[in-house]
Amino acid sequence: MKHIINPYENINNTARNNSDCPPVVLPEEIFFTISIVGVLENLIVLLAVFKNKNLQSPMYFFICSLAISDMLGSLYKILENILIMFRNLGYLKPRGKFVTTADDIIDCLFILSLLGSIFSLSVIAADRYITIFHALQYHSIVTMRRSVIILTVIWTFCTGSGITMVIFSHHVPTVITFTSLFPLMLVFTLCLYMHMFLLARSHARKIPTLPRANMKGAITLTILLGVFIFCWAPFVLHILLMTFCPKNPYCACYMSLFQVNGMLIMCNAVIDPFIYAFRSPELRDAFKKMFFCNRYQ
């Protein structure tokens, strides 16, 4: 992100002089390779859902929303690497209008990836909650029409927010708003979880088989949420430290891991499709039909 991330290179020069932590530099080839794998994996998830009618349900549409978010997170890095490559070859001016516009688009993709992941995980959590505790009314509550409307509202809001944050990203309130969405999503999900597991424990004594079957989706969500926190939290912390203590040597020492934190974000897009495949027999069958079509027809 041009206004939020790139200033890290300039703001912390003084802090680096007082810090014994040199910046950790990773080869761009690693980022590019992980990003390509992330895009391909999530594209396969999308194709599997849209090619199989038995997967075209609200739950899998919400998973597709998360897959799109992951894919945007990988795509942003691919476009950034291509832009840097052309700039280094002399085909683009370092501060030309095209480069500036391209930077803004890339920044918007990055913000869309985070916001899309946050809201997709939140709506998946709400879907799992309704599945467990309102199972009989689930199909009347979570209809395809309502799911499409919810996803349309989410992505419209994320797109508008992404553009706004890119325009005003050099303002501290924008950074606070951007980073506060992360803990807000955690609080919302944790509240659902506490209620979910407390009720599940109570219901398990009365109906032993029903909660166990329905809790599988909640466990999948737990894994997805844990991976998301592990991969994104270091970067969110980086933004906060860069904004509020850029000249502190301890903050600078943590921010020397900037590229490592960035690689974790790329890894999130690679890990999520494996979680879908491992936890969902329906998706595994869809993947098998896609890759071994002759054998499974």
For the cut 80, the answer to whether the pLDDT of residue 132 exceeds it is: no
d(CA 124, CA 151): 11
Structure confidence by residue, pLDDT tens digits, 237-249: 888 888 888 888 8
Kindly report, residue by residue over 36-77, the tens digit of the pLDDT.
999 999 999 999 998 888 888 898 999 999 999 999 988 888
SS3 3: coil
What count of other Cβ atoms lies within 10 Å of the Cβ of residue 272? 26
Q: pLDDT tens across 100-124, in order?
A: 788 888 888 888 998 999 899 889 8
Q: Half-sphere exposure (CA, 13 Å, Cβ side) for 248?
A: 11
Q: How confident is the model at residue 215 (pLDDT cuts 50, 70, 90)?
A: low
Query: How many other CB atoms are found less than 10 A from the CB of residue 159?
Result: 15
Q: Using CA atoms, how far apart are residues 103 and 208, in angstroms rounded to an integer?
A: 54
Q: Is the pLDDT confidence value at 12 over 50?
A: no
Q: How confident is the model at residue 7 (pLDDT cuts 50, 70, 90)?
A: very low
Domains belonging to the chain, first-starting first, are 28-284 (1.20.1070.10)
Give the span between the Cα atoms of 169 and 5, in whole angstroms: 10
pLDDT value of residue 3: 45
Q: What confidence category does residue 8 fall into, taking pLDDT thresholds of 50, 70 and 90? A: very low
Write the pLDDT tens digit of every residue in 265-285. 889 999 998 888 778 888 888
For residues 42 and 174, the model is more confident at 42
Closest among 75, 80, 84 to 35, alpha carbons compared: 75
Residue 109 in contact with residue 39, Cβ under 8 Å? no
- Range among 77-81, 118-122, 128-132, 173-177 with highest mean pLDDT value: 118-122
* Confidence category of residue 10, pLDDT binned at 50, 70, 90: very low
Distance CA 81, CA 87 (A): 10
Residue 88, token pair as written in the block: 């280094």
Tokens of 259: 């590229």
Classify 280 as helix, strand or coil: coil
Alpha helices in the chain (DSSP H): 8-11, 13-17, 28-51, 58-88, 97-133, 138-141, 144-167, 172-206, 209-244, 249-255, 258-279, 281-291, 293-296
3-state DSSP of 77-124:
HHHHHHHHHHHHCCCCCCCCHHHHHHHHHHHHHHHHHHHHHHHHHHHH
Place of tokens 């004594």: 205
Please give the model's pTM, rounded to 2 decimal places: 0.84
The gap from C-alpha 219 to its chain's centroid, in whole angstroms, comes to 18
Mean pLDDT of the chain: 81
pLDDT for the residue 224: 86
Q: Are 232 and 117 in contact (CB under 8 A)?
A: yes
Q: How far apart are CA 34 and CA 51, in angstroms?
A: 26
Tell me the percentage of the chain whose pLDDT exceeds 90.
20
